[in-house]
């Protein structure tokens, strides 16, 4: 699906294999990560679901499918951070899987109507689920790759930091 970017091919055990020198491209400090408890994940999903755009419900077809994606997002983000409702001043770092080639925040999901799991960029998923129609329409005109982050940190997944720019960093 072009909406989420990535290649639609299933990935065989593509885990985070990150060269140490490349980690410096992000201000994220993995030692600071505090995962959410099951209750905190459930609360985040409930909170975020209220802000999901109707296009997300239409696309996923069931609340369960949308909740699966929201669960992955909640588990990959520090319990003190919120990429949708959090302060625009602060980056929200991704601690989940990243793509091997270019170190982009990514999740695995089976898209509706497909049977194979594919790798999907987190910032594209967030924009799809939560962006306004106007922002979403502008973002869909950009290349089918991870969106650039206005803060300059591609491991930031704050919705407010997604840039409409097309230039590379």
Q: What is the mean pLDDT of residues 2-11?
A: 53
User: Residues 25-56: pLDDT tens digits?
Assistant: 788 888 999 999 999 999 999 999 999 999 99
Query: Which of 70, 68, 69, 76 has the alpha carbon at shortest distance from 33?
Result: 76
Confidence check: pLDDT of 131 > 90: yes
- In angstroms, rounded to a whole number, what is the distance separating the alpha carbons of residues 85 and 127? 13
**Helix or strand or coil: residue 86?**
coil
pLDDT class of 6 with cuts at 50, 70, 90? low
pLDDT at residue 18, as a whole number: 40
Q: Which residues are paired to 169 by β-bridges?
A: none
- Residue 65 reports pLDDT greater than 80: yes
| Its pTM surpasses 0.75 | yes
Q: What are phi and psi of 107, to 5 degrees?
A: -130, 165
Please tell me the distance from the alpha carbon of residue 69 to that of residue 49, in angstroms, as a whole number: 11
Is it the case that residue 144 has pLDDT exceeding 90? no
**Could you report how far apart the first and last alpha carbons of the chain are, in Å?**
25
Instruction: Identify the helix (H) or strand (E) that includes residue 72.
Output: helix 63-75
Task: Give the side-chain half-sphere CA count within 13 A for 69.
Answer: 32
- Residue 91 to residue 94: CA distance in whole angstroms: 10
pLDDT in tens, 99-110: 998 899 999 998
Q: What angle (nearest 5°) sits at the alpha carbon of residue 81, between those of residues 86 and 129?
A: 65
Q: What span, in angstroms and rounded, lies between the C-alpha atoms of 57 and 68?
A: 12
For the cut 70, the answer to whether the pLDDT of residue 160 exceeds it is yes
Beta strands in 40-160 (DSSP E): 106-110, 117-121
């Amino acid at each position: 699906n072009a909406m989420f970017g990535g290649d639609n091919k299933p990935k065989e055990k593509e885990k985070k294999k990150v060269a140490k020198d490349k980690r410096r491209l992000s201000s994220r400090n993995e030692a600071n990560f505090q995962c959410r408890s099951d209750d905190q994940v459930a609360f985040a999903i409930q909170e975020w679901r209220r802000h999901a755009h109707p296009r997300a419900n239409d696309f996923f077809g069931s609340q369960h499918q949308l909740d699966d994606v929201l669960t992955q997002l909640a588990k990959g983000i520090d319990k003190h951070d919120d990429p949708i409702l959090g302060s625009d001043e602060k980056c929200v770092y991704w601690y989940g899987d990243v793509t091997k080639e270019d170190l982009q925040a990514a999740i695995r999901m089976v898209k509706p109507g497909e049977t194979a799991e594919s790798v999907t960029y987190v910032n594209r998923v967030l924009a799809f689920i939560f962006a306004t129609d106007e922002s979403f329409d502008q973002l869909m005109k950009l290349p089918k790759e991870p969106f650039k982050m206005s803060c300059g940190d591609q491991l930031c997944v704050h919705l407010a930091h997604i840039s409409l720019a097309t230039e590379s960093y």
